[in-house]
Amino acid sequence: MISPVPFAFRDFPLMPSPARSVVTRIAPSPTGSMHIGTARTALFNWLYARHCGGSFLLRIEDTDRERSTEASVKVILDGLNWLGLHPDAPPVYQFARSGRHREAVETLMHKGGAYRCYMTAEETAAERERARAEGRAIRSPWRDRDPPGGDNGPFTVRFRGPLEGETLVDDRVKGPVLFQNRDLDDLVLLRSDGTPTYNLAVVVDDHDMGVTDIIRGDDHLSNAARQSLIYQAMGWETPLFAHLPMIHGPDGAKLSKRHGAQAVGEFADLGYLPEAMRNYLARLGWGHGDDELFSDAQAIQWFDIRDVVRSPARLDWNKLNHVNAHYIRLADEERLADLALEALKKKGASPDQEDRRRLLAAIPFVKESAKTLVELSDLTGFALLRRPLALESKTSAALDVEGRSLFERLVQALRQAPDWSPDPLLSALRSFAAAEGIGLGKIGAPLRGMLSGGLPAPDLAGALTALGREESLGRIADALSQAR
RNA sequence: GGGCCCUUCGUCUAUCGGUUAGGACAUCAGAUUUUCAAUCUGGGAAGACGGGUUCGACUCCCGUAGGGCCUACCA
């Protein structure tokens, strides 16, 4: 159970220019993890708000007291924070506003827009079955009954929707969508325990929060019709709707655990950078010509709700990896070192300052090829090994009498290098091979083995530089004496 | 069952009646080569199907098929 934190948005001047500044919101329910689709919806709301110079709000939809938990609220807050999508005001907790919701229902009852329904759970279930069989919406017998006198037992409050006519949802991504009012049922506004339901609470909160543009998943498209009716009954201006297609797994089915990841926290653990997620997610369902890799500033500048795609998209790990690799190359090396350190800790290691120093030295030589932070930390593993390294058999095999003397000469050549950095080291290696009349491959493989102990490593000059002069020569010396 | 939404290369997408249907990821071939990767060059790859409308349809309309959402005192 979460303890609601009351928040009055009147305290926060959200609309500096009250005229018609854009207000968007993300409204997740804290009932588990934060789905990647929710993250994308948040991203689009954020991009749109930023593009329009409006505000982006967060509302926690915790009216389901059974399923809402405080831990899930934290997951949402952490997820948005990690993604860098910071709301412009403290979160609104929906449950804390239930008094206001009841007040709205009260108003609606006075206007004749709602009524008490005394159907029992069994009666409702039976009516639902009948309605389904007859291919019509569920109807309550209490709709047109005179206000019942006496005690008829527990009741819900239902919306009295129009039986005729039609409701247009002029969706900005789906286009105009027409609903026949007779197909819409009288939804429950207040449960028999007096708590408000979702469809009522969204409308009241969105109105009170001044939300001008509702951008959400298209699983809410038909709800938009019901909600429009409530706005009208309340005499409130209906916001603009934009319903985003959903994100599916690589196989086109609803994205779930079995597709590798589903929650934003999992993507973080898998080693994806938040800026890569923003870029990739932006391209899922939205595009700006042929642009694939772009900054937040560009996305904000370019974002237009009219360019949002109508059809659902599938999560593509290959492309995500590609985008992530791009941002790893761009990332600051100190930051990457810290992130790689975290990845190491998650694997159970307990790296120290010396490890961080070695990591940082190696990162410039591996950041070009790492697709994720996990890979990045794997690729730097060779640098973290402590002397003496265990040699692979194929390495020691190359160190027979002849091999040892070859590498002793190589050590001399390396010592002559004017500077311990990639270019001089590479030319030292090349001219040594030429002087010996052998190919680089002849010395490359064993040398790599001596330096990395068999772990993946960058190119030779890079590996030597990453390790530094002392460590490199030390590892070679270890190997030579070991092979003796 | 009813209502609604969706359908361009394997994937993400461009096209907004007239294009050799473009790009990106993936894939294949080649180059490079000191493992793996990265990188470079090149290739293959698409309008679900059937009807219309039109001089001309990926683009507009209708139907079919296939996905999806809603149809809760969940959100």
- How distant is C1' of B41 from CA of A314, in Å? 30
Nucleotide nearest to A323 (CA to C1'): B25
DSSP state for residue A382 in the 8-state scheme = H
- Helix then strand count (H, E) for chain A reads 20, 12
Strand partners, A167: A179
User: What confidence tier does A157 reach under pLDDT thresholds 50, 70, 90?
Assistant: very high
DSSP-derived letter for residue A91 is P
Q: Where are the domains of chain A?
A: 257-330, 333-384, 388-484
Strands (E) across A316-432 are located at none
Question: Cα(A468)–Cα(A397) distance, rounded to whole angstroms?
Answer: 26
Q: How far, in Å, CA of A167 to CA of A179, rounded? A: 5
A4-22 pLDDT per residue, tens: 333 333 333 334 444 569 9
Q: What is the average pLDDT across A370-386?
A: 93
Chain B nucleotides covered by protein, CB below 7 Å: 1-8, 10-14, 22-26, 33-38, 67-75
Residue A405 backbone phi and psi in degrees, to 5: -70, -35
Asked if strand B contacts A153 at the CB level, meaning under 7 A, the answer is: no
Does residue A222 lie within 7 Å of nucleic acid chain B, judged by its CB? yes
Question: Is the C-beta of residue A291 closer than 7 Å to nucleic acid chain B?
Answer: no
Per-chain mean pLDDT for chain A: 90
Reply yes or no: is the peptide bond before residue A196 cis, omega within 30 of 0. no
Name the residues in A334-363 having a C-beta closer than 7 Å to nucleic acid strand B: none
Which percentage of chain A shows pLDDT scores above 90?
75
Mean pLDDT calculated for residue range A100-115: 96
Which residues of A carry out catalysis? 257
pLDDT of A233 over the 80 cut: yes
Backbone dihedral region for residue A2 (phi beyond 0: left; psi -120 to 50: alpha; all else: beta): beta
pLDDT at A440: 83
Asked whether the predicted pLDDT for residue A402 surpasses 80, the reply is yes
Return the sign of the alpha-carbon dihedral for residues A252, A255, A261, A266: positive
- So what's the pLDDT on residue A184? 94
Residue A433 has pLDDT above 80, yes or no: yes
Q: A388-484 in CATH: which number?
A: 1.10.10.350
Is A69 (CB) below 7 Å from strand B?
Answer: no
Long-range contacts of A473-478 (CB under 8 A, 24+ apart): A473/A411, A473/A414, A473/A415, A474/A387, A475/A387, A475/A388, A475/A389, A475/A450, A475/A451, A476/A407, A476/A410, A476/A411, A476/A447, A476/A450, A476/A451, A477/A411, A478/A387, A478/A388, A478/A389, A478/A450
A420 Rama sector, left if φ>0, alpha if ψ -120 to 50, beta otherwise: beta
Q: How far is the CA of A390 from the C1' of B12 (A)?
A: 46
Per-residue model confidence as pLDDT tens digits over A319-330: 999 999 999 999
Q: Is the CB of A318 under 7 A from strand B?
A: yes
Task: Note the pLDDT tens digit of each residue in A114-146.
Answer: 999 999 999 999 999 999 999 999 999 999 886
Please give residues of chain A from 373 to 432 whose alpha-adjacent beta carbon (CB) lies under 7 Å from any atom of strand B: 426, 429
- Spatial distance from the CA of A357 to the C1' of B74 (Å): 51
Question: Can you state the angle between helices A440-452 and A469-483, rounded to 10 degrees?
Answer: 100
What is residue A149's predicted lDDT score, i.e. its pLDDT?
67
CA triple A40-A46-A47, angle to 5 deg: 90
Contact A239, A27 (CB under 8 A): no
What dotted CATH number matches A257-330? 1.10.1160.10
A84 touches strand B (CB under 7 A): no
Between A411 and A251, where is the model more confident? A411
Residue A161 burial (CB < 10 Å; 0-12/13-18/19+)?
buried
Secondary structure in 3-state letters for A360-380: HHHHHHHCCCCCCHHHHHHHC
Mean pLDDT on A236-245: 96
pLDDT confidence of residue A19: 52
pLDDT tens track for A329-346:
999 999 999 999 998 998
From the CA of A322 to the C1' of B69: give the distance in Å: 31
A252: left (phi over 0), alpha (psi -120 to 50) or beta: left
User: What is the CA A175 to C1' B63 distance in angstroms?
Assistant: 22
What is the spatial distance, in angstroms and rounded to an integer, between the CA atom of A18 and the C1' atom of B6? 37
* Burial tier of A135 (Cβ tally within 10 Å: 0-12, 13-18, 19+): exposed
Q: Is the CB of A152 under 7 A from strand B?
A: no
Q: What pLDDT does A148 receive?
A: 62
Whole-number pLDDT of residue A144: 87
Higher pLDDT, A94 or A260: A94
Q: Which of A159, A240, A166, A162 minimizes the C-alpha distance to A201?
A: A159
pLDDT at A150: 67
pLDDT of A436 > 70? The answer is: yes
pLDDT for A232 equals 96
Amino acid at A79: G
What integer is the mean pLDDT of A90-112? 96
Phi, psi of A315 (to 5 degrees): -75, 130
